[in-house]
Amino acid sequence: MSEVRYTKDHEYVRVDGDTGTVGITDYAQKTLGDVVFVELPEVGKAFVSGEQAAVVESVKAASEVYAPVSGAVVAVNSALETSPGAVNEDATGAGWFFRIKLANAGELGGLMDESAYQAFLKTLD
């Protein structure tokens, strides 16, 4: 069963075994508006938790996407290069950005679970 964790910067990581699928949350895509471009990391690139890993641009603004956990990129969602709107249509599904092999699963403990993230969102209104 997969486990989903969230950052205060509105990234999510869905963990299956030692791999995490990373993207932005539904809240983030709604805040950004229509996504027009996504810059993905290279497969094999390693990141430390909190490091900029990707960029998402919308009609309103460009935003950095940070690695929620440390590890190396094992796959990218190349479909976003031609269909960046998938982020708006299904941010936590087809709109994922990259997959990362976890370097330290213990870092997940520093991220929010679903209920904590929903509580965090209520503080933003």
What is the per-residue pLDDT across 59-117, written as a single tens digit (0 to 9) for each?
A: 999 999 999 999 999 999 999 999 999 999 999 999 999 999 999 999 999 999 999 99
Cα(34)–Cα(57) distance, rounded to whole angstroms?
A: 9
1, pLDDT greater than 60: no
- pLDDT of amino acid 2: 75
Domains and CATH numbers, the chain: 3-122 (2.40.50.100)
- pLDDT of amino acid 89: 97
User: DSSP string spanning 38-80?
Assistant: EEPPPTT-EE-TTSEEEEEEESS-EEEEE-SS-EEEEEE-THH
Number of H helices, E strands in the chain: 4, 9
